[in-house]
Amino acid sequence: MTSPVLFQVLDTADAMKVGVATLNTPQTLNGLSLEMCELLETQLGDWQADDSIAMVILKGAGERAFCAGGDLHGLYKSMQENAGGQAWDNVHARTFFDTEYRLDYLIHTYPKPMLCWGSGIVMGGGVGLMMGASHRVVTETTRFAMPEITIGLFPDVGGSWMLARLPGGTGLFLALTGAQLGHSDCRYLGLADYTLDSGQWEDVVQQIQAESWSKDRSENDIHLGRLLRDLRAEPETLEPGPLEKHYGLIRQACDGKDFDAICSSISSWIDNDDPWLKRAATTFMSGSPGSARLCFALLDRVRLHSLADVFREEYIVSLHCGVQGDFQEGIRALLIDKDKQPKWNPATLAQATDSWVQRFFQTPWPDSVDHPLADLGAQPTRRQNPVR
């Protein structure tokens, strides 16, 4: 039976080696399961402790996706089995989010360079993996998004940390609309570091193997960065993407504290001549009103939190999403019955009030239980990868 994650160690020009982790479920667009998270966390830990490993490469099998998200089928089953139970009663959800968030945090704080080949679809759980890598590569096929509003969830996997730090309300816009970004807009927002052609993967590997690497993290960071920049055959010129083109409009609409005004502004784009803005408005208007309010409240709540504290906050919210209804209903409508007609509750933005959303921030476990992620961030780490 083929493993859902493949691991390989490559030789270089000297004694140092490179670890390569490949998400290996292309039939599901490399959707991230609990088993995949466990395998990755274990192997990354082993490579971290191995002085002969100079760096790690993270990629997805196939040409369509790096990683299109998390294992929604597994979470849906666990929610069905926990029908009528409390948030803390869903053992699978507790384990999945605990393991996934620890893996994401490990990538953010990894003590060696990590190159993420973010070609193709990078959404949801895939963003969580890519976001913390030290060297993030996008290509002409990259489709980067946090589309959780369409399934009654919210941008987790550290997504709220990332989006809350983007300028001018753009993070809230991406959360509320699930808008897809190409390579140019990813670079514009600082969500990626390098742009290469999707066909250059083999060139990247060959160049890395042909070089000599050291045990010094800083030297390897600089060396890898120069290598990736030099792979561009011509001086890099990025045509502005749709978000960059509409940045002024997005900032005017979404940079503020007035939830109703923001929702009204985005909804007005349904009649816009620009198809990208029109699609953003359509997605927002058909998405979960409860998720919209939750995204708005959460991004404001974690704006000044540390990365570890954001993961702790997201963990609480994710467990509540497993029993509040919209998450299960969103998966049903999209992936199970595939009728694409979710019955959201609350059904309108007016019903999704600030007082209603506060339930998602209440600790769901008994007083005798410590936060499962209480130890996150306790160990010495490298500087967090900034979102510029």
| Catalytically active residues, by annotation | 70, 125, 148, 156
Phi, psi of 56 (to 5 degrees): -130, 145
**Residue appearing with tokens 């998720």:** 291
